[in-house]
Structure 1
Amino acid sequence: MTVALILASASPARLTTLRSAGVEPEVMVSDVDEPAAIARAEEGIGGTLASDEVALLLARSKCEDVAAATDADALVLGCDSVLEFGGETFGKPADAAEATTRWQRMRGRSGTLHTGHWLIDAREESTGATFGVVASTVVHFADLSDAEIAAYVATGEPLRVAGAFTIDGLGGPYVRRIEGDHHNVVGLSLPVLRDMFGEVGVTFDQVRG
């Protein structure tokens, strides 16, 4: 039996990660207003969400938005990543100036990349499960020069990703080491996803088809 998977994310890296593991999901991008979702949640608790809570909130919001918009017989997966650094939560930088400032702070130091995973079992004969898991990986950054930062930011890549860096792209040389799951830094933890599938009685090979 093959189980279909819908990926509620526009991230090419997440799609590539799944494909490399033999999974070919249907991609459906949500219409979630991320800043508004965070603002509503923080208003509701009367405080500031922690970085891992932001990642899980956005993953859940995206997953629920897509699940509500489809009647597909499938599992629906939403993901979101943020970098926790110096007590702040970093998503995608707004512009090149912000990306440059971030890297000037991050160089030679470390942060924690949190990826929220939210799964909804929307199959016709489903468990009705809806739950989430956050995976966290410590990332140690190289001590870049101002010239290296300028050259990297000029590629445009830091503007497209949470934390203003990648480990699987042009930013790879600037990550000295990690503590935790490599795939999580890319944007989706395959071991975590396997465990989540198991919670709804599905094995990874069934999703792989």
Structure 2
Amino acid sequence: MTLFVLASASPARLGVLRNAGVEPVVRVSGVDEDALTAELGDNPDPEEVVVTLARAKAEAVLGEFDDAVVVGCDSMLSIGGLLHGKPHTVDVARRRWAAMAGRSGDLLTGHAVVRVRGGEVVATAAECSSTTIHFAEPRPVDLEAYLASGEPLSVAGAFTLDGLGGWFIDRIEGDPSSVIGIGLPLVRRLLTDVGTSLAEIWA
């Protein structure tokens, strides 16, 4: 079995992988997302942003492993021409929901898969998945309760599909696992690109 390394602190990504038969080794990259995004300039391509961040997260932990597949991910919501990551505070999350309610946005998730053998990188593949999210209009009392829960503060776009935020998603167009944080169909294809099969990583 090939060691599968998840370069992410996200419990949602870990849950998706475990439910899909993979027990990853978790290593948190410590990448400064804001600083790296700033380096891309004033108007970077949204897909370039999430793929660059995903690649940086995977590369940050490579040195710990001699033989492994390392996966990095990053998600942001594109809505109204703006790209949104984690809000971190209730005030920012409230403003995000004021802009999102009753509208649609694209949840972009960058994925980077790196194959390491003998302590050397032998193959890399990276790509972005995009899923359209159609948001409901939460009643103010419900939105305030959601904000008070803390859940939307540490997730891209200030919402979840698989948690409390799922009440406020009318529908999606695309891959639900990608919205949760790691797109299984895309990771499967990227694993193939780096010469690894699902049979090698399934626990």
Q: How does 1:98-109 map to 2 (within 5 A)?
A: 98-109=92-103
| Partner residue in 2 for 1:24 | 23
Answering whether residue 43 of structure 2 is matched by residue 48 of structure 1, we say yes
SS at structure 1 position matched to 2:57: helix
Question: Would the aligned equivalents of 2:88 and 2:154 in 1 still touch at CA under 8 Å?
Answer: no
SS at structure 1 position matched to 2:157: helix
**Matching residue's letter, 1:35:** D
* Aligned-pair CA distance for 1:51: 2.0
Q: How does 1:162-201 map to 2 (within 5 A)?
A: 162-201=156-195
Question: Would the aligned equivalents of 1:55 and 1:80 in 2 still touch at CA under 8 Å?
Answer: yes
* Aligned-pair CA distance for 1:128: 1.1
Give % identity: 47
Over aligned residues, Cα RMSD in angstroms?
1.4
* Aligned-pair CA distance for 1:7: 0.5
* Aligned-pair CA distance for 1:168: 0.2
* Aligned-pair CA distance for 1:127: 7.2
**TM-score, length-scaled by structure 2:** 0.96
Distance 1:18 1:208, change over 3 A: same
Query: Which of 66, 85, 101 is the aligned partner of 2:79?
Result: 85
Paired with 2:99 and 2:38, the residues of 1 have a C-alpha distance of 26
| Partner residue in 1 for 2:32 | 33
What do residues 5-35 of structure 1 show as CA deviations (whole Å, max 9, x unaligned)? 1100000000000000000010000121111
Question: Would the aligned equivalents of 2:55 and 2:111 in 1 still touch at CA under 8 Å?
Answer: yes
Question: Would the aligned equivalents of 1:104 and 1:146 in 2 still touch at CA under 8 Å?
Answer: no
| Partner residue in 1 for 2:60 | 65
Question: Would the aligned equivalents of 2:111 and 2:182 in 1 still touch at CA under 8 Å?
Answer: yes
Paired with 1:19 and 1:4, the residues of 2 have a C-alpha distance of 14
**Matching residue's letter, 1:25:** P
Paired with 1:10 and 1:35, the residues of 2 have a C-alpha distance of 17
Paired with 1:48 and 1:148, the residues of 2 have a C-alpha distance of 35
Runs ≥4 residues deviating over 2 A: 123-127
| Partner residue in 2 for 1:14 | 13
* Aligned-pair CA distance for 1:54: 1.4
**Matching residue's letter, 1:4:** L
Of 74-83 and 195-204, more deviation after overlay is shown by 195-204
5+ residue gaps, structure 2, are none
Paired with 1:205 and 1:194, the residues of 2 have a C-alpha distance of 11
Paired with 1:5 and 1:63, the residues of 2 have a C-alpha distance of 12
* Aligned-pair CA distance for 1:49: 1.2
Of 197-206 and 179-188, more deviation after overlay is shown by 197-206
Paired with 2:93 and 2:83, the residues of 1 have a C-alpha distance of 14
Question: Would the aligned equivalents of 2:65 and 2:119 in 1 still touch at CA under 8 Å?
Answer: no
Paired with 1:191 and 1:89, the residues of 2 have a C-alpha distance of 24
Paired with 1:83 and 1:21, the residues of 2 have a C-alpha distance of 25
Paired with 2:45 and 2:201, the residues of 1 have a C-alpha distance of 32
